[in-house]
Structures are given as C-alpha cells and as structure tokens.
Amino acid sequence: MRKIIWSIDAYKKVFYMIIEGRKIGFYLSNRLAKTFFMYLRKGVLVDFEISPKMKKIGKFSFYQVSHFNQIISLNPFIIHYDLTHMRNDMRQVLESNKYFLFIDFEMTMPGYHDQQFFPEIIQVGYVLSEAQGNIIQQDGYYVLPKEKLTLSKRTKKFLNLDEDKFFAEAVQFDIYYKKLAKIIKKYNPKLVVWGKNDLTAMNDSYILHEKEKLTVDTDFIDLLKLHKDYFNLKDDLGLFKAYKTYYDVDFDQAHDAKDDALVTKYVFDAFVNYMK
C-alpha cells in the first residue's frame, strides 16, 4: 500500500489514512515504532505491507503494519527509508571485503545460586575464508577463565563439558589473544557473528584481561541482524534454523564454538547468494 498519512496518534502508535472516503488506522508494533515512528507525520508518503491480523485497542481495531518499503517526506523531499536501497547497500558491504572471520564463543554460565556473575569466554571457534571462497584456516579450542578453578554445573551441563578434560586442554587467554591479533594484522578481515552476544563477550574480555582492544564494533557484521532487516523478521532467527532453511538439511547442534562458526559461514554464503 502506498499512501499519504492523514494524521498520527503517537500514544497508540497508529497513523491514519483516508481511503475511499474513510479514515483507516494502521498500528505499529513496538519494534517498528521504535525505528520508524519518528519519521511519521501528516503529509508523509509511506509504502508498506500489512499483516493478516488486526490489532484491537480499546473499542477499535487497526490494521497492523508488517513492514515498510519506503518512508518519504514530500516537503522538503527526504527519503527517510528505502528497503530496496538498504538491501543493495547491504549486498555491496558484504561483497566489498576480501576476507571474513566467522567467529563464535561459548561462555561461562552462572551457578544456580550465584548473586554476582561475569561471563567469560571459555571456548572459541573461528573460520577464516575468502569472500564466499575457500577456507584459509579454522580452529577451535578451550580458553581458561581468568581465576576460576571450577566451572558451574550449569555451564558443564549446557556445553556437555568434562571438567577434567576442559582444564587439561584449555589454553591461556594470552594464546587466544595472540592468535586473533595475528589473523587481524595479516588479513584485516570483517568479523562475522550471529547476534550481539559474541561481540559483547569479546569487548568484555579485553576489559577482564586488561588487554588492548584488537577490534572496534564497526569491524563486525551481525549476520542475525542482517537477516532480520533484509527479510523484515519480527523475531530472532536461530542460526541452525537459518541453515536448515537455506540447505534443507539439519545440522546437529552440539553447542560447539567451532561448529557454530562453520555454520555461520555456510549461512553467510547462502545469504549472499540469495541476495544476488
């Protein structure tokens, strides 16, 4: 639907249009309102799709906006949002980098009665590759927490860890840090993660271990966010659900960082191919 807004109701998160002589209201979810409502006002041109269900507020029912295609102010002329342009820009960004480092972490989890807790990286998995090309290197290993001599029962259960095996094989954080620094210095890759947790974990690890930051947030691509933006998804998409959607094959999820990094690469390749 492509129409000019007649009026808005910011309290209800609703905008109105005159359609065939009737005033019709359209409701924005919290997610859409947070992103787009600031651009909506009388006289703005919007191109959007509606979802099958209606939203009832008080005595009235409103059509619910599924997603926007365009939002354009006509006076002065400003394109606030254009889905097609955004998708093209997204594709250009993904195609403009030569190397990608797909990285995943597993972290400690609090004990069942912990009052204060700070998650730490205890497993890293990564796959370094050319853009949609051959894998240059891949690795996965355990990383020792800074001071803890034991892991919580919740951590061991979730990651299916044998504690003796973990502490026998885990490397010091410095070894992980130096390996990552070497890759970044040599290849200057874009780091690809699935969701914000891995980016947060990396930033927190610099502080915890008193290390100089090897990365800034703009070095990262959140592949989950790209999927949500590109396909206008309301809810988060699981990494393994995305893999199954692209390849129509189940991948056994074992909460292993190396496997997750590899699956992230497979999903990334399929996503770029889809955009093409």
126/135 Cα distance (integer angstroms): 11
Cβ-based neighbours of 248, under 8 Å, separated by 6 or more: none
21-24 contacts at long range (C-beta below 8 A, 24 or more positions apart): 24/63
- Tell me the pLDDT of the chain (276 aa) as tens digits: 999 999 999 999 999 999 999 999 999 999 899 999 999 999 999 999 999 989 999 899 999 999 999 999 998 999 999 999 999 988 888 888 899 999 999 998 877 666 667 789 999 999 999 987 889 999 999 999 987 778 888 888 888 889 999 999 999 999 999 999 999 999 999 999 999 999 999 999 999 999 999 999 999 999 999 999 999 888 899 999 999 999 998 877 767 899 999 999 999 999 999 988
The partner residues of 128 in beta bridges, in order of sequence, read 101, 137
User: What is the DSSP annotation of the chain?
Assistant: -EEE--EEETTTTEEEEEETTEEEEEE--HHHHHHHGGG--TT-EEEEEEEEEEEEETTEEEEEEEEEEEEEEETTEEEEEEHHHHHHHHHHHHHS-SEEEEEEEEE----TT-SS----EEEEEEEEEETTS-EEEEEEEEB--SS-SS--HHHHHHHT--HHHHHHHPBPHHHHHHHHHHHHHHH-PEEEESSSHHHHHHHHHHHHTT---S--GGGEEEHHHHHHHHHT-SS---HHHHHHHHHS--------HHHHHHHHHHHHHHHHHHH-
Tokens of 15: 């905008």
Residues in the chain: 276
272/270 Cα distance (integer angstroms): 6
Residue 265: CB atoms within 10 Å = 21
CB contact at 8 A, 41 and 27: no
1/220 Cα distance (integer angstroms): 35
Q: Which CATH class is domain 2-82?
A: mainly beta
All structural domains of the chain with their residue ranges: 2-82, 97-275
3.30.420.10, 3.40.605.10, 2.60.40.1930, 3.60.150.10: CATH of 97-275: 3.30.420.10
pLDDT value of residue 94:
84
pLDDT value of residue 121:
94
pLDDT value of residue 91:
86
pLDDT value of residue 250:
81
